[in-house]
């Protein structure tokens, strides 16, 4: 499947782009992270400490175990600091 | 219910004109950019699309949970100089307890669940991303 | 710190213009006349002299206790038709917890310690004095 | 001593006046209340249920035990209903 993968804040800076198209067969968010981290040093650095990374699947907050079946847009970002 | 996500300043007086008509209690919370340690501005990044959806969902959750007559959330993004308002929530209810608790609940949620990220700007440019506070995460457990 | 006791309506926007400059969090509470059960208006009696002194003393107590950057209390008296604002408190602090708690504290105090007395006015004239609520008295024990 | 005694809300209505001058030697608020209640039916009715009456001495909330020495202005009123 084809996913839009978005990055925000320092994840965007480390990856070097706000979004990318990804072709994957990953079944879960966690499997997708493993694939992305294996791509290159930038991805590996951005995704090295997952305790500092949050994820949304189709704009809903999700977990590493969240399945990707039917998903279109995955976003990775640091803990939020709104308000 | 009204949710606004915008870069430009908001006119609190205009937004609150007629807000909560029929209610007995209106609470507002406004967050402003504090100039601590020579801070010049905050740059606020957000997740267009998800931000509006998440704010609307939580405004509705607060309205349902606290029996609100009305609720308003406005949150800015982009470059916000020191002293400027960042965001405001307003809650209207029959009685003060519900209005206070709903505003408090919405703020705890906004601080750690709304998709905004703040970067500090000093006199020499960007300093770094504001880190999430453990206190803010813990505050959510109250609800 | 600012305390106003007056019969005429107040302009919240004007009162809050520049309020809490330098603070990170501003909370306001506004109480309005609710039209329950055909109520037409409230007549609010107060104790001139004591009212201003008591409001100022408690605004100062809240400022000291919660480390406020600023505090504002405005309370009307006289004939207040349904839908009109009765009073407003505003608190400004570095962080949201102090601003929320101070406004909450001030309201609990105002409800049962500020020398105001409300009389309900129906379509046929005065109905009777509003009775103090046990809940309001109990709320004070939280502080 | 001479005191200004003020009444508010339904106490004012039952007494029939917002204030009166009172000459008294009462040592405490409680003693003053007893003197006032003995004056006539209106005062007796207004001050019959003290659990529903609050008092201020020189514009500070006070108790039945509060001494009157040096006081100028005593106010009686129902529990407050501000806010």
Q: What pLDDT digit, counting tens, does each position of C43-67 carry? A: 999 999 999 999 999 999 999 999 9
The Cβ-side half-sphere exposure at D40, using a 13 Å CA radius, reads: 4
* Nearest residue in C to D80, CA atom: C112
Q: Which residues of chain D have pLDDT under 70?
A: none
State both tokens at D46. 């207004």
Instruction: Please answer whether residues C76 and C10 qualify as being in contact, where contact means their C-beta atoms are separated by less than 8 angstroms.
Output: yes
| Cβ pair D83:C107 closer than 8 A | yes
Starting at the edge strand found earlier in the chain, the sheet holding B25-32 runs: B2-6, B70-76, B85-93, B25-32, C25-32, C85-93, C70-76, C2-6
Residue C23 is predicted with a pLDDT of 97
Interchain touch D–A (≥3 Cβ pairs closer than 8 Å): no
Which DSSP category does B134 fall into?
H
Q: What pLDDT digit, counting tens, does each position of B43-81 carry? A: 999 999 999 999 999 999 999 999 999 999 999 999 999
Number of DSSP helices (H) and strands (E) in chain A, helices first: 3, 5
Fold for the domain defined by C2-142: Aldehyde Oxidoreductase; domain 3 (3.90.1170)
Cβ partners under 8 Å of residue C114, min gap 6:
C51, C54, C55, C58, C75, D80, D82, D83
pLDDT, mean of residues C18-43: 95
Parallel, antiparallel or unpaired: strands B116-122 and B41-46? antiparallel
* Nearest residue in A to B52, CA atom: A59
| Cβ pair B96:C24 closer than 8 A | no
State both tokens at C111. 């409800």
pLDDT, mean of residues B109-135: 95
Residue D21 is predicted with a pLDDT of 98
pLDDT, mean of residues C26-41: 96
Question: Which helix (H) or strand (E) segment is A66 a member of?
Answer: none
Instruction: Please answer whether residues D47 and D66 qualify as being in contact, where contact means their C-beta atoms are separated by less than 8 angstroms.
Output: no
* Nearest residue in D to C118, CA atom: D81
Q: How many angstroms separate the CA of residue B28 from the nearest CA in chain C?
A: 5
Q: How many angstroms separate the CA of residue A39 from the nearest CA in chain B?
A: 24
Gap between the Cα atoms of A36 and A29, Å rounded = 10
Q: How many angstroms separate the CA of residue A11 from the nearest CA in chain B?
A: 11
| Cβ pair C131:D80 closer than 8 A | no
Residue B137 is predicted with a pLDDT of 87
Instruction: Please answer whether residues A9 and A78 qualify as being in contact, where contact means their C-beta atoms are separated by less than 8 angstroms.
Output: yes
Parallel, antiparallel or unpaired: strands D19-23 and B41-46? unpaired
Which DSSP category does D69 fall into?
T
| Cβ pair C115:D83 closer than 8 A | no
Average pLDDT of chain B is 96
Which DSSP category does C50 fall into?
H
Instruction: Please answer whether residues B108 and B61 qualify as being in contact, where contact means their C-beta atoms are separated by less than 8 angstroms.
Output: no
How far apart are the two ends of chain D, measured CA to CA in Å?
36
> Contacts for C17-21 with beta carbons within 8 Å, 24 or more apart?
C19/C70, C19/C72, C19/C90, C19/C92, C20/B32, C20/C69, C20/C70, C20/C90, C20/C92, C21/B83
Between residues 1 and 60 of chain C, which touch chain B (CB distance below 8 Å)?
12-13, 16, 20-35
State both tokens at D60. 């500070």
Chain D contact for C117 (CB, 8 A cutoff) = yes
Q: Which residue from D59, D79, D81 is facing C50, i.e. has the nearest CB?
A: D59
**Is B14 buried (19+), middle (13-18) or exposed (0-12) by CB count in 10 A?**
exposed
Residue C137 is predicted with a pLDDT of 87
List, in sequence order, every residue forming a beta bridge with C71; answer none if it has no partner. Answer: C91
Q: How many angstroms separate the CA of residue C123 from the nearest CA in chain B?
A: 18
How is chain C split into domains, by residue range? 2-142
């Amino acid at each position: 499947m084809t996913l839009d993968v978005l990055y925000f804040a320092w994840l965007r800076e480390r990856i070097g782009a706000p979004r990318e198209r990804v072709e994957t067969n990953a079944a879960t968010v966690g499997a997708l992270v493993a694939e992305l981290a294996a791509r290159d040093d930038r991805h590996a650095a951005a995704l090295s400490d997952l305790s500092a990374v949050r994820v949304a699947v189709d704009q809903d907050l999700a977990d590493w175990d969240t399945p990707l079946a039917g998903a279109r847009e995955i976003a990775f970002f640091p803990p939020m600091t709104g308000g | 219910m009204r949710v606004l996500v915008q870069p430009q300043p908001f006119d609190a007086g205009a937004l609150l004109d007629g807000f909560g008509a029929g209610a007995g209690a209106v609470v507002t919370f406004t967050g402003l950019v504090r100039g601590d340690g020579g801070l010049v501005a905050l740059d606020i990044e957000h997740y267009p699309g998800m931000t509006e959806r998440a704010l609307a969902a939580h405004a509705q959750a607060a309205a349902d949970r606290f029996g609100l007559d009305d609720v308003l959330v406005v949150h800015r993004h982009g470059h916000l100089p020191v002293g400027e308002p960042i965001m405001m929530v307003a809650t209207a209810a029959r009685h003060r307890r519900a209005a206070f608790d709903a505003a408090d609940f919405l703020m705890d949620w906004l601080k750690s669940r709304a998709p905004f990220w703040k970067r500090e700007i000093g006199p020499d440019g960007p300093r770094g991303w504001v880190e999430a506070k453990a206190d803010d995460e813990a505050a959510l457990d109250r609800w």
